[in-house]
């Protein structure tokens, strides 16, 4: 029977794994957690347990501390069998040679053949093309907007450009008790900064031909400045400097702010609390070059190569990822599924997904921005360094130029290390 250890952090997670895992065949760590989400995962895993006779311990780490907690666990030798792996952490563990090659699934798993090409490519983005993750879906950014707040602010048409978006956000902020933009200054906020920088720089490239980061280019700095100005002008709530996912979603469905850039997972909370007629989802506004660069991210299932049950671990990954279970999981957590033909599911053919499919169907205008998660240090950058320094900039302790310089130096150094490793 599945045992759940939920909302654990630091030493608590370490102690419970070390003290309790011996009774179980497998330990699975999830890192993007909520009680409801874990319940769905438990249901999928329980079916596999009944079928195979294995037991699985699910350990749920709070997202805000998950990166550091998992790293501490692994460094201390308390390594789970299976982990929910965000793409930006993959290079850290892959580069250290700690992840199992899942290529045997190609022959042993009957559903491997229906995985989309993108799924296999993304799962093989580290360690010289080895398949070290089965992604469970893709997060693609689009813009939610509150129709009622825009109408109240006198805005007839949703903004199509970054300039129009800033003007609309400022107009809504003139309403008493309202803000224009649900800015994500806390955990998970890196994507917003990167999209603004890419849109204003009109480029999805993170490095130039010489291997230098483009974060300190004139256009990128303008994008960072735009984010800072939105916050400092009052177009975003004052406490949004610390907001993570739950706070920005609540800020939108409560009517606190009119715009929210987020992935399909935000629909889970918003659709339950807002009238479908009062909000919509559109593609990200385009920059001066006529393009938008919505971030595309993913997470999936990886197996640590220290597992004592490699065949069972891979079999569980296959079970979690089969078309039926993946559809259930994708609909609940809000991602684009991984199997061919999934877009024909009536669930994904509703108006709620219009903004994302318009983005996907117009790749010349909406160019997906894939952060350099292949860098070993990108996980630290995305989940620690960029958050801390971004908050300093929002609060006026760093200028946009200083922020850009810090980020560019870090990413340039990481890219140089990556290139050196590739040359060996």
Q: How many helices (H) and strands (E) does the chain have?
A: 18, 10
Quickly state the pLDDT bin for 11 (edges 50, 70, 90): very low
Quickly state the pLDDT bin for 354 (edges 50, 70, 90): confident
**What is this structure's pTM?**
0.72
Tell me what the mean pLDDT of segment 370-397 comes to.
94
In the chain, where the domains are located: 3-139+297-351, 142-293+375-423
Q: Are strands 257-262 and 142-146 parallel, antiparallel or unpaired?
A: antiparallel
CATH code, 142-293+375-423: 3.40.190.10
pLDDT tens digit sequence for 287-302: 999 999 999 888 999 9
Contacts of 27 (CB under 8 A, 6+ apart): 17, 21, 56, 57, 59, 80, 81, 82
Across the strands, what pairs with 138? 298, 336
Q: Provide the pLDDT for residue 100.
A: 97
Q: Name the residue with higher pLDDT: 254 or 91.
A: 254
Superfamily of domain 3-139+297-351: Periplasmic binding protein-like II (3.40.190.10)
Contacts of 208 (CB under 8 A, 6+ apart): 214
DSSP reduced 3-state for 298: strand
Q: How many residues does the chain have?
A: 424
Contacts of 294 (CB under 8 A, 6+ apart): 140, 141, 142, 195, 283, 284, 359, 366, 368, 369
Q: Return d(Cα 139, Cα 373) in angstroms, integer.
A: 14
Please say whether the beta carbons of 311 and 23 come within 8 A.
no
Q: Which of 143, 136, 118 is nearest to 356 (CA)?
A: 143
CA dihedral of 315, 376, 59, 328, whole degrees rounded to 10? -50
Can 3-139+297-351 and 142-293+375-423 be said to share one CATH topology? Answer: yes
Q: Return d(Cα 263, Cα 276) in angstroms, integer.
A: 17
Asked whether the predicted pLDDT for residue 373 surpasses 90, the reply is no
DSSP reduced 3-state for 336: strand
Asked whether the predicted pLDDT for residue 10 surpasses 50, the reply is no
């Amino acid at each position: 029977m599945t045992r759940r250890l939920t909302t654990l952090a630091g030493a608590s997670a370490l102690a419970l794994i070390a003290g309790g895992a011996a009774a179980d065949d497998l330990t699975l760590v999830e890192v993007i957690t909520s009680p409801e989400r874990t319940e769905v995962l438990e249901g999928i895993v329980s079916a596999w347990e009944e079928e195979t006779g294995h037991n699985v311990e699910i350990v749920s780490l709070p997202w805000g501390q998950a990166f550091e907690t998992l790293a501490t666990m692994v460094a201390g030798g308390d390594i789970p069998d299976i982990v929910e792996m965000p793409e930006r952490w993959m290079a850290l563990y892959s580069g250290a040679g700690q992840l199992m090659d899942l290529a045997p699934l190609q022959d042993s798993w009957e559903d491997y053949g229906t995985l989309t090409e993108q799924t296999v490519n993304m799962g093989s983005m580290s360690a010289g093309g080895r398949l070290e993750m089965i992604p469970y879906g893709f997060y693609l950014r689009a813009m939610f907007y509150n129709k009622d707040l825009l109408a109240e602010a006198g805005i007839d048409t949703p903004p199509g450009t970054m300039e129009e978006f800033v003007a609309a956000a400022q107009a809504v902020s003139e309403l008493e008790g309202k803000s224009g933009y649900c800015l994500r200054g806390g955990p998970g906020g890196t994507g917003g900064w990167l999209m603004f920088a890419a849109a204003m720089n009109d480029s999805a490239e993170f490095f130039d031909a010489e291997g230098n980061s483009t974060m300190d280019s004139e256009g990128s700095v303008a994008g960072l400045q735009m984010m800072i100005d939105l916050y400092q002008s009052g177009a975003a709530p004052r406490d949004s400097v610390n907001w993570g996912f739950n706070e920005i979603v609540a800020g939108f469905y409560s009517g606190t702010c009119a715009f929210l850039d987020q992935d399909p997972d935000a629909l889970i909370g918003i659709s339950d609390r807002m009238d479908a007629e009062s909000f919509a989802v559109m593609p990200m506004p385009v920059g001066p070059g006529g393009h938008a660069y919505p971030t595309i991210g993913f997470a999936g299932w990886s197996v640590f190569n220290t597992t004592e049950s490699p065949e069972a671990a891979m079999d569980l990954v296959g079970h979690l990822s089969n078309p039926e279970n993946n559809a259930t999981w994708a609909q609940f957590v809000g991602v684009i599924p991984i199997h061919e033909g999934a877009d024909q599911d009536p669930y994904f053919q509703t108006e709620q997904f219009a903004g994302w499919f318009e983005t996907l169907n117009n790749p010349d205008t909406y160019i997906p921005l894939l952060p350099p998660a292949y860098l070993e240090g990108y996980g630290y950058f995305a989940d620690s360094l960029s958050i801390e320094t971004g908050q300093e900039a929002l609060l006026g302790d760093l200028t946009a130029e200083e922020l850009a310089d810090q980020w560019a130096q870090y990413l340039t150094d990481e890219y140089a290390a990556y290139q050196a490793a590739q040359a060996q």
